[in-house]
Amino acid sequence: MITLSEYFDELLAAIEPVEDRLKFAEEVPAQLRAYLKESDMVLTIEPHSRLAGSYARQTAITQIKDVDILLFIDESYKNGSAEAALSTVFSALHNLKNRMEGVTDVTVRRKQRRSINVLFEDSEFCMDIVPAVAPNGLDAPLEIPDRNWEKWVKTDPLGYGGELSRLNSANGGKVVRLIKMMKYWRDVHMATRRPKSYWLECLIYHLICDEEVPTSGRGYAEIFSTILDAIYTNYLPYLQKTTVPSIPDPMLGNNVAHNWERSAFETFMARVLESYEWSLRALNAASEQDAVDLWIKVFGEEKFPSSNVQIKGRTLNRGLTSTGIYVTPDLGRVSVTKPTGASIKVPPQRFYGDVNE
């Protein structure tokens, strides 16, 4: 079996959120949270707000384009309608643009089904502020307003975050990485009709939590192939029906994919089968290069390295532009990690070539 561990390590490094977006996603939401905490237009309770979504769970990939924020509002808002609670938060954000530092492209855009959307158009970034009440504290399910259903519904994103963290630790940190790989795979193969990121998270969570896909002693190539196989096998009976499968919420059990369209499900299954067949051929390929070529079909050529030479080049480039690289004075060996013996650290570089090149 050809597992290509170095190649998958490089893929995982390549799909991590980029440094400048991480900084933006840290600084801008912090300003918005401080603004809402100080606002006298909406009554909040300790701890006022929390980050949620893929950014908070560290399952985001590449360009972080959105951050979810839970806003803990007073329980008295439950005496009113879901629409009224969302309108209150919408109004509280009216003066946000004048209070943000370092950004000028702020638009409090709209009331969504369960949140208020704040857009930073020039930065291609947005935040969804979800008002929530915590009748039994933060360790229990929250209740949030739903405009479409005109009622308050239960959700437990904080509980799920904790459970995901525990499952990830029990599996050597592989669960979060597999979720990232699955999200990137979807982005490569599905320009439209994409399953939502949270659906994919729940899929991976259940497959590993239920021990349907073991991770111990197995590389990412073998695990990812098994995930594709398990998804297709489990959902195959639905291709003979007119319905779509449900994806249970890990905490509350409700179907998070209740609005999955049939055509989108069929497209997803076709892509899963296609990639599973490539992955199986890659694991049993006659040569390493044959395996690499097949995995490029699965993950695309932009992020999956085509050779060991490309892996080393990318690794050194990350060292040059982030933490720096180390050179041993005796043999002149280069590394992005500090060697055990004597070495000289080359500082991070920001030179990208002459302007006219």
Q: Which domains does the chain have, with CATH numbers?
A: 19-155 (3.30.460.10), 160-299 (1.10.1410), 315-346 (no CATH)
Q: Is the pLDDT of residue 329 over 90?
A: no
- Vertex 321 angle, CA 354 and 317, to 5°: 85
What is the pLDDT, as a whole number, of residue 97? 84
Do the Cβ atoms of 152 and 133 come closer than 8 Å? yes
State both tokens at 351.
């030179």
Cα 341 to Cα 100, 181, 262, 337, 338: the distances in Å are 48, 36, 60, 12, 8
DSSP state of 303: T
Q: Where residue 326 falls among pLDDT bands split at 50, 70, 90?
A: low
- Phi/psi of residue 356, nearest 5 degrees: -90, 0
pTM of the complete model:
0.84
Among 162-171, 263-272, 337-346, the minimum mean pLDDT is found in 337-346
Residue with tokens 């500090």, as numbered in its chain: 338
Burial class (CB in 10 A: 0-12, 13-18, 19+), 340: exposed
Q: Is the pLDDT of residue 352 over 50?
A: no
Question: pLDDT digit string (tens) for 6-48?
Answer: 999 999 999 999 888 888 888 889 999 999 999 999 999 999 9
What is the pLDDT, as a whole number, of residue 323? 52
Burial class (CB in 10 A: 0-12, 13-18, 19+), 199: middle
